Amino acid sequence: MINFRYHVVSIVAVFLALALGLILGGSLLNQAAFEDLSRRVQDLNEEAEENHEQINELTQAQQYRDSVIRELTPTMVDGTLTGHTTVIVSLPGADNDTVGAMRSVIEEAGGQVSGTVRLSDAWSDPNGDDAFTGPLDTLGLADLAVDGQDDPTAQQRAAQALADAVTGEAADPAAGPADGSAGEASAAPSDAPPGSTDTADPQDGPEQTDGATGTDGTAATGPAPADVLEAFADADLVDIDGDPAAGADTVYVAVPPRGADDSDEAVEQAATAHQGWINLAAAVDSDASATVLAGPASAALERGFLKAVRDDGDWSNSYSTVDSADTPAGQVAAVYTLAAELGGAESGHYGVDDTDGPLPRIPEGIEQ
């Protein structure tokens, strides 16, 4: 019995000693760990403060550069768009403040802005024909020919009708391309854009030139541009500011920033939306003498529309793009791009991303 008690006491003593050691050792270790953690937190706070100061310095420097460029903008763009009219087509999600600033710069360049057409989310679904068949049927444009498309979807027909309306063309449901072909981009598949018409004569494009009279002096058979825009507005496909039905020879397409969601589903939705938007870009580019797709810098990153255009061989060769259009420098670049195309330049890509440069070659006639 004594031996048993001895062993019990010994075991208890061992466990007590172990517990005491753990308590004492843990306290020392906890104190050391706490001190180490405190040092790390202090270092991180100091690093965060330094980063905050650097961000403030960079922000102030950027604001200063933007202010200088904004002050110089009227001089830099003066006369580049004199005698030309621009219509602004705003894709879903495009920033309204940027659109307003771009309108001012176009006017400072000597150009006129006929109006703004803001597209609804329906244009983000190239296969969502149900949204477009109603107004097309009402307008008698269910069989409207589309440049470069042998069997166009309802969305592509609607895009062509909208492009015809904002550029002052009369959409003729019975008329195809003037040469009887499928358009300048021969043998283009139904999901590819037609070829660029940037260097085409301003008189090229659909045969009709206004809502009342065709180029041959005969009465146009299609609906007037104002009727097309009204039908689309009634169907909640567009919102209208100004008088875009007055016609324009240049088109500024306002591009939204890329979405923040990078999930597989979001990437797929973005790709679908891009196909719908390129249908609209193809239509306005086929009618206008100059077209530019312009948006913020994020639009030129993965999942952004400008990135998609620049990465696609056919799209890249067909359409001019400008990123950083939410900055004064980008807005000047957008005006120069329109002016360059009016002067016969090929499509180009400009901005801070991997591009052809910050802006196109300054058009002839600008005083420097």
Q: Which residue type is seen at 52? A: H
Q: Are residues 175 and 39 in the same domain?
A: no
pLDDT at 39: 79
In a domain, 345, yes or no: yes
225-234 helix and 154-166 helix, angle to the nearest 10 degrees: 130
Same domain for 70 and 120, yes or no, is no
Cβ neighbours for 22, distance < 8 A, ≥ 6 positions apart? none
One domain for residues 174 and 60: no
Which pLDDT value is given to residue 251?
98
Contacts by 57-66, CB closer than 8 A, 24 or more apart: 65/329, 66/327, 66/328, 66/329
Query: Are 120 and 60 in a shared domain?
Result: no
Residue 368, domain member (yes or no): no
138 and 279 inside one domain: yes
Spell out the per-residue pLDDT of the chain, length 368, in tens. Answer: 456 655 555 665 656 666 656 665 666 556 776 677 777 777 777 777 888 888 888 888 888 888 999 999 999 999 999 999 999 999 999 999 999 999 999 999 999 999 999 999 999 988 888 999 999 999 999 999 998 888 999 999 999 999 999 998 655 555 543 333 333 333 333 344 443 444 444 434 333 344 444 434 444 568 999 999 999 999 999 999 999 999 999 999 999 999 888 888 888 999 999 999 999 999 999 999 999 999 999 999 999 999 999 999 899 999 999 999 999 999 999 999 999 999 999 999 999 867 899 989 876 655 44
Same structural domain for residues 168 and 286? yes
pLDDT at 198: 44
Nearest to 74 by CA among 107, 46, 98: 107
Assess if residue 357 is contained within a domain. Answer: no
A 10 A CB-CB count for 61 gives: 10
pLDDT of 117 reads: 98
Supply the pLDDT for residue 282.
94
Domain match, 18 and 108 both: no
Query: Rounded to the nearest 10 degrees, what angle do helices 264-287 and 154-166 cross at?
Result: 50
Residue 366 domain-assigned (yes or no)? no
Q: Quick one: pLDDT at residue 115?
A: 97
My answer on whether 250 and 170 are in the same domain is yes
Question: Comparing C-alpha atoms, which of 160, 265, 276 is closest to residue 223?
Answer: 160
Cβ atoms within 10 A of the Cβ of 325, count?
32
Q: 133 and 99, same structural domain?
A: yes
Tell me: do 40 and 160 sit in the same domain.
no
The pLDDT of residue 173 is 58
Query: Is the CB of residue 309 less than 8 Å from the CB of residue 321?
Result: yes
In this predicted structure, what is the pLDDT of residue 207? 38
Domain end position, chosen among 77, 103, 132: 77
Which helix (DSSP H) or strand (DSSP E) does residue 210 occupy?
none
* Number of domains observed in the structure of the chain: 2
Residues 237 and 270 in one domain: yes
Task: Give me the domain span that covers residue 179.
Answer: 82-350
CB atoms < 10 A from the CB of 319, how many? Answer: 26
Burial of 342 (0-12, 13-18, 19+ CB in 10 A): buried
8/2 Cα distance (integer angstroms):
10
What is the pTM (predicted TM-score) of this model?
A: 0.76
Spacing of C-alpha 109 from chain mean position: 22
Neighbours of 356 (CB within 10 A): 15
Asked whether residue 139 falls in the same domain as residue 240, the answer is: yes
